[in-house]
Amino acid sequence: MDAQLKRGLLDVCVLAAIKDGDSYGYKIIKDLRPYIELSESTLYTILKRLETGGMLTVRSAEHEGRLRKYYHITDAGMRRIEEFRSEWAEMISVYQFVIKEEHNG
């Protein structure tokens, strides 16, 4: 997908990936892969931003010797997803304007 189009979706996709249960970086990337591709550097940047913005909280846990950081969505994060629903309506209106055909007789 076009890099610019992705920009508005990434944050909310990451939130959606943890909204039904805590998850961690590597898993989030794999879960999102069917819908949207993102690299590790991109994801960790996003996770940091979402944490700073109070959209999620982090907890470190050891899993089979390896460190894992589990991300948990907050109320603000859930509200962000709801907000996206409203924004989608605007998106549709823009989409329809873009693909609108002129009447040619």
Angle at 85 between CA 58 and CA 50, to 5 degrees: 20
The rounded distance, in Å, linking the Cα atoms of 39 and 26 is 10
93 binding partner (options DNA, a copy of itself, none; Cβ < 5 to 8 Å by kind): a copy of itself
Helix (H, G, I), strand (E, B) or coil at 36: coil
Q: What is the DSSP letter of 14?
A: H
Residues making contact with a copy of itself (CB under 8 A): 1-2, 4-9, 11-13, 15-16, 20, 35-36, 81, 84-85, 87-88, 90-91, 93-95, 97-100, 102
Residues making contact with DNA (CB under 7 A): 3-4, 6-7, 10-11, 24-27, 30, 37-42, 44-46, 49, 63-69
